[in-house]
């Protein structure tokens, strides 16, 4: 595996009024790695994603992605650089079809302009066709191709989560940040999803940063894990290291470990 | 019929055939109404791009219409019409210039207000509409508050020439907007309406999408203004009041946010309704028109809160039945 750092996070802090949601966090992800980010409710995991993807600008510190400092970049620009995400609270384009959701994420790779769309010239037809084929290919991997024309809000919950991932993949990312992709899924579905994540990782050469509540699950697939508690990184290492860390056990025992899927972030 | 919806030339032919029938079968009042309907269709379809498809709220469509109308009218007094049968090209050119100026105004108004999150656009466009009106009222070169007289219009037969000009633009408006929103760039407009944060995360430059939609919408509002100017031969700043902007918004809301069929039908309904109720006024001696008009709007919004069509199209229903 290449040893290049794809993502470098340098002492980022996010302050909301008096609350330090994330405090001087430092970490890096190597190309091709699958890294886990865990921590109790309210630990600041989603806030980390929001800083990485430009939804929030860190109060201090900086993020460097593929050698580019992300300071001041807007979320769409960061997406163009190759970092994308899914949302814990599912943010699909509800009224649009499953296929449309995926097509929109591919828009950044189009070269035709509005004029070509109006004239429907050959460039337009060619690019729209190939975009559609790529979208259908992605949907097929996640077993959603049969529902391509259904409105995305009509999908069952588990499939909406999958569609979030498909949509993110359509941006052709290098790094994909998954925010509790298995939240609300049953054991079987979760298992199935983890296999899919392993599969797309190979097929698309992806680097993955995964937030997950389910400790067992994260232990199973991540190579490296970091643990956040009250905005501070309390541990980082291989699953074994995490499993045997007194600090981690304490953090998890200190709060009740109920899933809080209703959280809106 | 469905084929005509795919091909602009077939669609134009169908409209012209309809115009030819109206030309012989109906009186000049109906003919006038028909052209006004076409103008309103352009206003409704273009505003739908912003308020319906892109999910922003513009309240100043009349302002952009005014820019197009006055620019086009002024230009036509400065350069002579081409001789028949090329006269129509003069009008197309005036409209194009009016549309471009309205689009430029749209850019200037839209860029700063669309960059901000929140409903700044409604406030800024409302202000813009009023400012334009006041500026026109105090500009002697275009007649000021008295209005602008003697604007060149299509020569006889007036109805058919005006109708052809308006029809051409209705078709252009329809196909441009339709094809844009059915392209992936246009779907980006829809994603802004659905969820701006998710759209940005998926690589959509949401500010650019909003400004594009707004500029295109302003362009066609300017076109509608130009057709209006040359068909009525007279412009008055009060024709472009806030009420006209509200009328356009009502057409979009009534038809269904993000439905072309809805915008078109609502334009017909909103234009015809007050006139159709006129006999009632004569009968009773009181102006019940506005009461009934308002009541029927309220009723419609209760029965179909998402507008006549929601975000569907007529063709969606036709297809469902046939399949
Ligand atoms: N925009 C915001 N304004 C104020 N406080 C915020 C904001 N976003 C997050 N917070 C706070 O920051 C802290 C961390 O929240 P965050 O959503 O990052 O936690 P999390 O680790 O993702 O939790 P969960 O496991 O429940 O998803 C919480 O106390 C939350 O209330
Ligand atoms: Mg979270």
* Percent of chain A predicted with pLDDT > 70: 94
d(C-alpha B189, C-alpha B211), whole Å: 10
Query: Which whole number is the average pLDDT over A196-206?
Result: 92
- pLDDT for A263 equals 40
Least confident range of A29-33, A48-52, B263-267, B286-290: B286-290
pLDDT for B5 beyond 70: no
Answer with the residue of higher pLDDT: B32 or A48.
A48
How does the average pLDDT of chain B come out, rounded?
88
Query: Which whole number is the average pLDDT over B126-137?
Result: 93
Distance from CA of B212 to the nearest CA of A (A): 9
Query: Which whole number is the average pLDDT over A243-247?
Result: 85
What CA–CA distances, in Å, run from B107 to B66, B110, B207, B249, B308?
A: 16, 5, 12, 20, 31
Chain A neighbors of B209, CB-CB under 8 A = none
pLDDT for A265 beyond 70: no
Answer with the residue of higher pLDDT: B109 or B116.
B109
| Residue in B185, B197, B203 closest to A91 by CB | B197
Query: Which whole number is the average pLDDT over B101-130?
Result: 91
- pLDDT for B158 equals 76
- pLDDT for A55 equals 95
Instruction: Spell out which chain A residues touch chain B, with contact meaning CB-CB distance below 8 angstroms.
Output: 53-55, 74-76, 79-80, 84-85, 87, 91-96, 100, 103-108, 110, 112-114, 117-118, 120, 124, 128, 131, 167-168, 170-171
d(C-alpha B285, C-alpha B240), whole Å: 29
What residue segments make up the domains of chain A, in order of their start? 5-262
Torsion from C-alpha of B47, B53, B59, B62, nearest 10 degrees? -10
pLDDT for B43 beyond 90: yes
With H, G, I as helix, E, B as strand and everything else as coil, classify residue B80.
coil
Least confident range of A212-226, B33-47, B247-261: A212-226
Answer with the residue of higher pLDDT: B70 or B27.
B70
pLDDT for A101 beyond 90: yes
Query: Which whole number is the average pLDDT over B211-221?
Result: 97
What CA–CA distances, in Å, run from A220 to A31, A194, A195, A223?
A: 20, 9, 11, 9
Give the homologous superfamily in CATH for domain A5-262.
P-loop containing nucleotide triphosphate hydrolases (3.40.50.300)
pLDDT for B322 beyond 60: no
Query: Closest chain B residue to A111 measured between Cα atoms?
Result: B185
pLDDT for A159 beyond 50: yes
- pLDDT for A158 equals 92
pLDDT for A257 beyond 60: no
The string over B217-249, giving b where at least 16 C-beta atoms fall within 10 Å of a residue's C-beta and e elsewhere, is bbbbbbbbbbbbbbbbebbbbebbbeebbebbb
Q: pLDDT category, A111, cuts 50, 70, 90? A: very high
Residue B316 CA, distance from chain mean position: 23
Partner residues linked to A236 by β-bridges: A226
pLDDT for A241 beyond 70: yes
Q: Which atom of ligand 1 is nearest to the CA of A47?
A: 18
Answer with the residue of higher pLDDT: B256 or B128.
B128
| CB A126 less than 6 A from any atom of ligand 1 | no
Answer with the residue of higher pLDDT: B116 or A198.
A198
Chain A neighbors of B191, CB-CB under 8 A = 93, 96, 104
How does the average pLDDT of chain A come out, rounded?
91
How large is the ipTM? 0.91
Total residue length of chain B: 323
d(C-alpha A28, C-alpha B63), whole Å: 53
- pLDDT for B237 equals 93
Answer with the residue of higher pLDDT: B88 or A61.
A61
Please write the tens of the pLDDT for every residue from B165-188: 999 999 999 999 999 999 999 999
Ligand nearest to the CA of A259: 1
Query: Which whole number is the average pLDDT over B273-279?
Result: 81
Q: pLDDT category, A155, cuts 50, 70, 90? A: very high
Is A178:A209 a contact under the CB 8 Å cutoff? Answer: yes
Q: pLDDT category, A264, cuts 50, 70, 90? A: very low
Residues flanking ion ligand 2, Cβ below 5 Å: A 45-46, 88
Q: How far is the CA of A162 from the centre of ligand 1 (A)?
A: 23
Distance from CA of A109 to the nearest CA of B (A): 10
Partner residues linked to A37 by β-bridges: A211, A226
Q: Which atom of ligand 1 is nearest to the CA of A50?
A: 18
Distance from CA of A84 to the nearest CA of B (A): 6
């Amino acid at each position: 595996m290449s040893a290049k750092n794809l993502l470098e996070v340098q002492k980022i802090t996010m302050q909301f009024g008096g609350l330090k949601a994330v405090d001087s966090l430092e970490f890096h992800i190597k190309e091709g790695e699958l890294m886990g980010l865990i921590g109790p409710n309210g630990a600041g995991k989603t806030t980390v994603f929001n800083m990485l993807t430009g939804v929030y600008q860190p109060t201090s510190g900086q993020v460097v992605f593929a050698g580019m400092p992300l300071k001041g970049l807007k979320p769409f620009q960061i997406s163009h650089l190759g970092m994308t995400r899914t949302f814990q609270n599912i943010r699909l384009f509800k009224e649009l079809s499953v296929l449309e959701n995926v097509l929109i994420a591919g828009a950044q790779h189009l070269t035709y302009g509005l004029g070509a769309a109006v004239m429907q010239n050959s460039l337009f037809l060619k690019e729209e066709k190939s975009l559609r084929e790529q979208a259908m290919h992605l949907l097929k991997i996640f077993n959603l191709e049969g529902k391509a024309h259904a409105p995305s809000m009509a999908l069952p919950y588990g499939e909406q989560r999958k569609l979030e991932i498909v949509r993110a993949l359509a941006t052709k990312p290098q790094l994909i940040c998954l925010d509790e992709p298995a939240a609300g899924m049953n054991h079987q579905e979760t298992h199935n999803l983890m296999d899919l994540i392993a599969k797309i990782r190979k097929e698309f050469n992806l680097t993955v940063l995964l937030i997950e509540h389910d400790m067992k699950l994260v232990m199973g697939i991540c190579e490296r894990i970091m643990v956040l508690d009250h905005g501070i990184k309390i541990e980082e290492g291989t699953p074994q290291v995490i499993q045997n860390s007194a600090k981690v056990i304490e953090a998890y025992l200190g709060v009740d470990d109920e899933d809080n899927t209703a959280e809106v972030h | 019929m469905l084929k005509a919806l795919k091909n602009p030339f077939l669609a134009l032919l169908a409209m012209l055939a309809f115009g030819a029938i109206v030309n012989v079968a109906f009186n000049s009042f109906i003919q006038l109404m028909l052209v006004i309907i076409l103008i309103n269709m352009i206003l409704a379809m273009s505003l739908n791009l912003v308020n319906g498809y892109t999910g922003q709220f513009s309240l100043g469509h009349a302002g952009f219409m005014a820019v197009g109308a006055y620019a086009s009218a002024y230009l036509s007094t400065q350069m002579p019409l081409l001789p028949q049968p090329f006269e129509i090209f003069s009008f197309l050119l005036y409209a194009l210039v009016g549309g471009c100026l309205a689009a430029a105004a749209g850019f200037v108004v839209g860029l700063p207000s669309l960059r901000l999150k929140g409903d700044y656009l409604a406030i800024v466009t409302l202000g813009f509409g009023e400012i334009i009106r006041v500026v026109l009222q105090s500009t002697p070169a275009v007649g000021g508050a008295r209005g602008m007289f003697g604007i060149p219009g299509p020569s006889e037969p007036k109805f058919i020439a005006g109708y052809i000009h308006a029809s051409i633009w209705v078709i252009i408006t329809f196909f441009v907007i339709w094809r844009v929103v059915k392209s992936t760039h246009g779907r980006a407009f829809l994603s802004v309406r659905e969820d701006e944060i998710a759209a940005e995360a998926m690589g959509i430059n949401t500010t650019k999408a909003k400004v594009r939609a707004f500029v295109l919408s302003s362009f066609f509002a300017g076109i509608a203004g130009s057709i209006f100017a040359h068909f009525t031969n007279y412009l008055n700043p009060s024709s472009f009041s806030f009420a006209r902007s509200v009328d356009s918004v009502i057409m979009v809301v009534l038809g269904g946010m993000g439905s072309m069929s809805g915008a078109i039908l609502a334009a017909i309904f909103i234009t015809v309704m007050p006139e159709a109720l006129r006999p009632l006024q004569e009968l009773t001696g009181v102006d019940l028109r506005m009461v009934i008009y308002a009541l029927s709007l309220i009723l419609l919004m209760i029965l179909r809160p998402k507008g006549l069509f929601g975000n569907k199209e007529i063709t969606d229903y036709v297809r469902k039945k046939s399949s």
